[in-house]
Amino acid sequence: MLSKRIIPCLDVRNGLLTKGIKFQGNVDIGDPVEAARAYYEQGADEIVFYDITASSDGRDIMIDVVRRVAETIFIPFSVGGGIRTVEDMRRVILAGAEKVSVNSEAVQNPLIITEGARAFGSQCIVLGMDVKKVEQSTKVPCGYEIVIQGGRKYTGIDALWWAKEAERLGAGEICLNSIDADGTQSGYETNLTAMISTNVRIPVIASGGAGQPEHLLEVLTRGRADAALIASMVHYKTHTISDIKAYLDRQGVKMRMQW
């Protein structure tokens, strides 16, 4: 039986691990390669790197981070942030990433999903979706809207429509991030997650809001998520991945318990 996946998310800026609250006030807190290795040892099922560097110098540093991670840990990991072309994808995949994720880039140019899937296979292409709750309207019937530019810009795109469209375009997986919940540690947006996950046939990773192991239990059961992203709760060492997995295992969620 397939296990649910626990995925720590490492935000990287200029080669350093960082974590922000609601996408603001990022504080650098360490070496991403060391953090990845520690999470690998604790039983992480996969790792997500999100490169929030703006400059092109920073991109080269990120490729070096990817290469060093790939030589150190032997589980899948994905890299997102600033990936605009198939050539950008190729660089991170050749450096050792299993998957790439596109977010704002795909809103602006949806064909990047199709081109990436054609070049590397759908399993390589993750669509990152940043979502905010809004009033239901004819334009946004599901009541959740896609936002870009780190949550600053509303796009008028309905989140459920975009998830289905991304699947049709060839995305192999969706990483669904609630901006409202991001960094709050007060729980995932379970209703949003269940709505998206039950309406697409590709796996959905829930993201944003994890603070307690109970939050993961909720989103992996009632939220129908295939995987759960975590950040602050492990970065600040209030919990370890192995403790979280042991808790979920006791609660009857299928977990990979030997590593």
Partner 1 sequence: MFHVKQRKDERMIAIIDYRAGNLTSVARALHYLNQPYCITDDPAILQQASHVIFPGVGAAGEAMAYLRHTGLDHQISSLVAAGKPLLGICLGTQVIFQYSEENQTDCLGIVPGSVQLFPRNMQQDGLPLKIPHMGWNEVTFTKHHPVFKDIDKGVSFYFVHSYYPAPEDPAWILGLTDYGQRFCSIVAHENLVAVQFHPEKSGKPGLKILENFCRWGGRDVE
Which are the catalytic amino acids?
Answer: 11, 130
Q: 7 near 44, Cβ under 8 Å? A: yes
The answer to whether residue 121 forms part of the interface with partner 1 (CB under 8 A) is yes
The answer to whether residue 54 forms part of the interface with partner 1 (CB under 8 A) is no
Q: 125 near 170, Cβ under 8 Å? A: yes
Q: Give the angle 94-100-104 at the CA atoms, nearest 5°.
A: 135
Binding residue (CB under 8 A) for partner 1 from 74, 135, 138, 237: 74
Task: Give the x-and-dash track for 127-166 against partner 1 (CB under 8 A).
Answer: ----------------------------------------
The answer to whether residue 252 forms part of the interface with partner 1 (CB under 8 A) is no
In this chain, which stretch among 17-25, 78-86, 224-232, 243-251 interacts with partner 1, using CB under 8 A? 224-232
Rounded alpha-carbon distances, angstroms, from residue 48 to 32, 69, 98, 247: 11, 11, 10, 22
Binding residue (CB under 8 A) for partner 1 from 8, 15, 128, 172: 172
Q: 131 near 146, Cβ under 8 Å? A: yes
What does the block give as tokens for 178? 């609630």
Q: 201 near 168, Cβ under 8 Å? A: no
Which is nearer to partner 1, 84 or 224 (by Cβ)?
A: 224
Using CB under 8 A, which residues numbered 14 to 53 contact partner 1? 40, 45
What does the block give as tokens for 59? 């991109």
Q: How many residues bind partner 1 (CB under 8 A)?
A: 32
In this chain, which stretch among 2-10, 28-36, 158-166, 239-247 interacts with partner 1, using CB under 8 A? 2-10
In this chain, which stretch among 57-65, 88-96, 105-113, 237-245 interacts with partner 1, using CB under 8 A? 88-96
d(CA 233, CA 8): 9
